Amino acid sequence: MAQALQQLINGLTLGSVYGLIAIGYTMVYGIIGMINFAHGDVYMVSAFIAVTTFTLLAALGVSSVPLALLVVLVVAVLFTSAYGWTVERTAYRPLRNSTRLAPLISAIGMSIFLQNMVQVTQGARVKPVPPMLSDGITLFTSGSYSVRISSAQILIIVLTVVLMAGFTWLITRTAFGRQQRACEQDRLVTAFLGYNVDRIISLTFMIGAALAAVAGVMVTMYYGVVDFYIGFVAGIKAFTAAVLGGVGSLPGAMLGGLIIGLLESFWASYLSPEYKDIGTFVILIMVLMFRPSGLLGRPEVEKV
Amino acid sequence: MMLQMTGVHAHYGHVHALRGIDLSVQVGEVVTLIGANGAGKSTLMTSLFGAPRCSSGQIIFDGEDITRLPTHQISHRGIALVPEGRRIYPRMTILENLQMGVSYADPSNFEVDLKRMEALFPILESRRHQAAGTLSGGEQQMLAIARALMSRPKLLLLDEPSLGLAPLYIRKVFEIIQELNRDYGMTILLVEQNANHALKVAHRAYVLQHGEIVLSGTGQELLSDPAVRAAYLDGGSH
């Protein structure tokens, strides 16, 4: 019971991170119908921006953790959005009217490029950051097992809930959100009605990247280590989350993220920590085989 | 002169869809474009928005050359399109669809225009918050027209507005076209398969064949033209 509760807390933390990244996949798929395989690497870049900024702040003598976190979040979100914008502008927009496969290949190329760029400029070794917010609350102790939630976990879960709420409001209630949904449903007509579709697509990439940046900062703070390869693993898990929830569905991405996070925690704890990723990928294969539209997605219907 | 197309050529991939179109629409006119499937009627409409971009020729709208203007800026000049197949946003409410119609119009007019549209199309009023995809085909067509009118356009383009509708709604669509023109002085360019109906409401008409204008005249002239009757009216209309 205590162990299950602990895994629930860990799983929610992990699921929050996957959910934040998964939104970027699902939004981009919704608007231009392609999987942005470089998204995981944009997330990885944000983690490096976080490490650099943390280090810089430490060198400047900033010792207040909340202040440092706030600065790092702002810096990471700004720079990572710029990355998201640049990726779309250079790798996808020139291929907007080409075959469906071309931007996909371009995405994989962009992913390899980002990994190598970081590897060359930052080194292939794991980069550590000093532990932060490692204090926490012990909820209860049963026998030798105590259930604990750390400040970092609280921060991740709370921040994710706030961001998801804000993001849902943005998409469902604002003029930009309406235009974004309009582009998802009919890009050409949206342009005919007088909206700059390219601008809306750019903003979509930037929002996706910004949410991934928050995830990147949180992970850096939570685990304390990053390397140039974390984007691949996190990316493919967040992608699984997006597929599980139904690609194109925003609530689906959040739900999918939570399920994958929980599954991974429980699998690692009860079955085998070495093979925890199997669970995720079994889900990916199962969903693709038996329910390709995901839990909350709409079935793909060919337009007449 | 509201709209003047001169020597417009356009390509869809390898298809030479428009071959030297000369067409004009005067202020306050209803002009219709008839022709068989694949003659290039829809292409002509969307080429005004640069989709496809014309490869040669010139489009002047309201005294301004709009030939090379980015697609999203065309409607800002005062052209609104009701696209073929309606293409409303099915997963948005009716209100949201109408809100999407006002990309550049003065937002303070929104409430007034909304009331006007709901007076013109009463079915929209009671269903403001219903998803547009749940409307019937005819109702969706009304919504598509209302969405276009929300921007207070100078020129309204209607692409096959009666296609696939029940007879009741076909009549309603043509009534609305006449009402908009007569009561509001709306200038309209209408593409129709239903040549019989279209020629009756139009001041002038063009016949399009294989991307070329082969005939033009007043609606009455074309209605009584034996070649037009044989090709587009007798037995051909529905």
What is the value of ipTM here, to two decimals? 0.94
B70, B76, B87: residue with CB nearest A189: B87
Residue B206 lies in a domain: yes
Angstrom distance (rounded) from CA A251 to CA A126: 34
Q: What residue type is B129 in one-letter code?
A: H
Per-residue model confidence (pLDDT) at position A303: 44
- Cβ A213 vs Cβ A33: under 8 Å: no
Q: Do B51 and A188 touch (CB under 8 A)?
A: yes
Rounded mean pLDDT of A65-77?
A: 95
Task: Domain count for chain B, please give it.
Answer: 1
With respect to residue B195, please indicate whether it lies within any of the assigned structural domains: yes
Convert the pLDDT of each residue in A199-258 to its tens digit. Answer: 999 999 999 999 999 999 999 999 999 999 999 999 999 999 999 999 989 999 999 999
Q: Which string of DSSP letters, residue by residue, matches A4-56?
A: HHHHHHHHHHHHHHHHHHHHHHHHHHHHHS---TTHHHHHHHHHHHHHHHHHH
The alpha-carbon gap from A231 to the nearest alpha carbon of chain B, in Å, equals: 33
- How do residues A166-183 score in pLDDT, each as one tens digit? 999 999 999 999 999 999
The answer as to whether B120 is a domain residue is no
Mean pLDDT of chain B: 93
Q: Is the pLDDT of residue B12 over 90?
A: no
For chain A, give the mean pLDDT.
Answer: 93
Greater pLDDT, A146 or B181:
B181
Mean pLDDT for A65-74 is 94
| pLDDT given for residue B54 in this prediction | 94
Mutate to test the interface with A, among B96, B100, B129, B157 (most CBs of A within 10 A): B100
Q: Please judge whether A196 and B72 are an interchain contact, meaning their C-beta atoms are less than 8 angstroms apart.
A: yes
pLDDT on residue A142? 82
Chain A residue with Cα closest to B101: A193
Tracing tokens 């807390």 back to the chain, one arrives at A9
- pLDDT tens-digit profile of A76-127? 999 999 999 999 999 999 999 899 899 999 999 999 999 999 999 999 999 9
Q: Which residues of A touch B91 (CB under 8 A)?
A: 181, 185
Instruction: Using CA coordinates, name the residue in chain A closest to B46.
Output: A192
Banded pLDDT at A300 (limits 50, 70, 90): low
Q: Which of B75, B83, B96 is facing A194, going by the closest CB pair?
A: B75
Query: Phi/psi at B5 (nearest 5 deg)?
Result: -105, 130
Q: What percent of chain A has pLDDT over 90?
A: 84
Q: Is the dihedral of CA B167, B168, B173, B175 positive or negative?
A: positive
User: CA-based Rg of chain A, rounded to a whole angstrom?
Assistant: 19
Helix axes B110-120, B137-149, angle to 10 degrees: 150
Nearest residue of A to residue B80 by CA position?
A193
Tell me the CATH architecture of domain A2-290. Answer: Orthogonal Bundle (1.10)
On whether any CB of chain A is under 8 Å from the CB of B74, the answer is: yes
The verdict on a CB contact (< 8 Å) between A193 and B147 is yes
Confidence of residue B237 (pLDDT cuts 50, 70, 90): very low
Does B69 contact A at CB distance below 8 Å?
no
Task: Identify the burial level of B112 via C-beta atoms within 10 angstroms of its C-beta, where 0-12 means exposed, 13-18 middle and 19 or more buried.
Answer: exposed
Residue B19, domain member (yes or no): yes
- Residue B100 belongs to a domain: no
Tell me the per-residue pLDDT of B66-123, one tens digit each, with 9 for 90 and over: 999 999 999 999 999 999 999 999 999 999 999 999 987 778 899 999 999 999 999 8
pLDDT digits (tens, 9 = 90+) for A241-278: 999 999 989 999 999 999 999 999 999 999 988 888 99
B20 burial level (CB within 10 Å; 0-12, 13-18, 19+): middle
Q: In the predicted model, is pLDDT for residue B238 greater than 70?
A: no
Domain CATH for B213: 3.40.50.300
**Chain A within 8 Å of B46 (Cβ-Cβ)?**
yes
**Residue B196 phi, psi (nearest 5):** -60, -55
**Does pLDDT of A133 surpass 90?**
no
How far does A183 lie from chain B, in Å, by closest CA? 9
**Domain residue limits at B53:** 1-74+186-238
Residue B56 pLDDT > 90: yes
Question: How many other C-beta atoms can be found within 10 angstroms of the C-beta atom of residue B119?
Answer: 10
